[in-house]
Amino acid sequence: MFDYLIVGAGLFGAVFAHEAKKNGKSCLVIDKRNHSGGNIYCRQTDNINVHEYGAHIFHTSDKTIWEYIQQFVQFNHYINSPIANYKGELYNLPFNMNTFYQLWKVQTPKEAQQIIASQIADLNIQEPQNLEDQALKLVGKDIYEKLIKGYTEKQWGVSCTQLPPFIIRRLPVRFTFDNNYFNDTYQGVPVGGYNKIIEGLLDGIETRLNIDFFTDRNQLTKLAHKIVYTGCIDEYFEYQLGELEYRSLKFEHEQLDMQNFQGNAVFNYTDREIPYTRIIEHKHFEFGTQKTTIITKEYPVQWQRGMECYYPINNEKNTQLYNRYKDLANAENNVIFGGRLGEYKYYDMHQVIGAALKSVQKEFNHEI
Ligand code: FAD
């Protein structure tokens, strides 16, 4: 009998298993996929680490988490600086002085601030009724129309006028020539790929793949004293209160017989007509010099049960439903719910590590 059955070999499950082992506990990790790592898994092709489930860039300002993760892998100096392609025009992201020069040929922060302020004033939006109003009120017409509207509509599958304003609370605008997408202190991509992190975390821990918890729930439950569950919380409770909603994605990977396709890891396509939102060229995450390259087109997809649940939709309806499931989870004996799907939260990697370490602290009653 194991101390813990861990459902899901993603980052949450792997951190929990690693720390439990350090505390002298035995763990069995299962995953329904044919690999461990959850969404940070990379497939190696032609010596290139392909981010199979979407571009992953590690970033945090938490020194403890940054040091924790470096036990398993070194990070390179990759800085995320996406480029937007709007109908063939290229713009730097996030919105900064480079973008404003490309939009209006302005060279000083004062000129850029004046243009944005006058565009906002012209629209005279008082109380934003939808996402379009909200974005226009924050950044004015040009940035909204060229860099936000089409991308957001593709992501959500509806017009910005039908989306609630709260989705965009702030739109960071920088009046410096700084293309670094994240504001965090630490950032990078693991040297040799994300799988190294998972391999390090799960070293010496029994991991069984291609096993869906729900195909043999009763038998699997009998294998351990406690369960750590990182799958969808509503599925655990057999959808008895109803279904939580997600957005899903489709990834189209292509291997190209050329050294360099787009010269940058991330290109966002911000017009509505091109059906994908991004093209990722994986080798640039690791400054690769391979002879060939691999790109991935990312298409937003309406989620239906059975598809991968990529983004929780944290609107009021889903939040209320999740809170009811959480009450059921709190009443469930010997089960810890964790991770992006278990907690229905859009966690980044550093947040999932933080949440797993907190859960370990609570379980073993000590500091990590
Ligand atoms: P997951 O990785 O989803 O792992 C859960 C595991 O449980 C999966 O392997 C699944 O197969 C398994 N499972 C589920 N149900 C069952 C079952 N019934 N039986 C057995 N196994 C089951 N974070 C960043 O910090 N930076 C980024 O740039 C970034 N980019 C992202 C881009 C995309 C497109 C997405 C979707 C996420 C991104 N993230 C990013 C977030 C990051 O992927 C997550 O924070 C992290 O991977 C979550 O780990 P997890 O263990 O909670 O969940």
Picking from 311, 305, 283, 286, the residue whose alpha carbon sits closest to that of residue 296 is 283
Q: What spatial distance separates the first Cα and last Cα of the chain, rounded to whole Å?
A: 26
Confidence class for position 262, pLDDT limits 50, 70, 90 = very high
Q: What dotted CATH number matches 2-76+186-244+313-364?
A: 3.40.50.720
- Compute how many other C-beta atoms are within 10 angstroms of the C-beta atom of residue 207: 19
247 is catalytic: yes
H helix count then E strand count, the chain: 13, 16
What tens digit of pLDDT does each residue of 84-137 get?
Answer: 999 999 999 999 999 999 999 999 999 999 999 999 999 888 899 999 999 999
Checking if the pLDDT of 367 tops 60, the result is: no
What tens digit of pLDDT does each residue of 41-96 get?
Answer: 999 999 999 999 999 999 999 999 999 999 999 999 999 999 999 999 999 999 99
Q: How far apart (Å, rounded) are the C-alpha atoms in residues 9 and 230?
A: 8
* Structure confidence at residue 9 (pLDDT): 98
Looking at the chain, the whole-number percentage of residues with pLDDT higher than 90 is 90
Picking from 82, 29, 21, the residue whose alpha carbon sits closest to that of residue 209 is 29
Confidence class for position 306, pLDDT limits 50, 70, 90 = confident
What tens digit of pLDDT does each residue of 220-251 get?
Answer: 999 999 999 999 999 999 999 999 999 999 99
Break the chain into its structural domains and give their ranges: 2-76+186-244+313-364, 106-167
| DSSP at 365 | T
Q: Which residues contact 29 (CB under 8 A, 6 or more apart)?
A: 6, 8, 9, 13, 14, 17, 36, 202, 205, 206, 207, 208
Among 56, 276, 301, say which to mutate for ligand 1: greatest number of ligand atoms within 8 Å of CB.
Answer: 56
Checking if the pLDDT of 315 tops 90, the result is: no
What tens digit of pLDDT does each residue of 344-356 get?
Answer: 998 999 999 999 9
Read off the tokens for 184.
Answer: 């965090």
324 is catalytic: no
* Structure confidence at residue 366 (pLDDT): 64
| Centroid of ligand 1 to alpha carbon of 175 (angstroms) | 34
170 is catalytic: yes
Which residue in 62, 178, 247, 311 is the catalytic one? Answer: 247
* Structure confidence at residue 355 (pLDDT): 98
Confidence class for position 368, pLDDT limits 50, 70, 90 = low
Q: Which atom of ligand 1 is nearest to the CA of 36?
A: 9
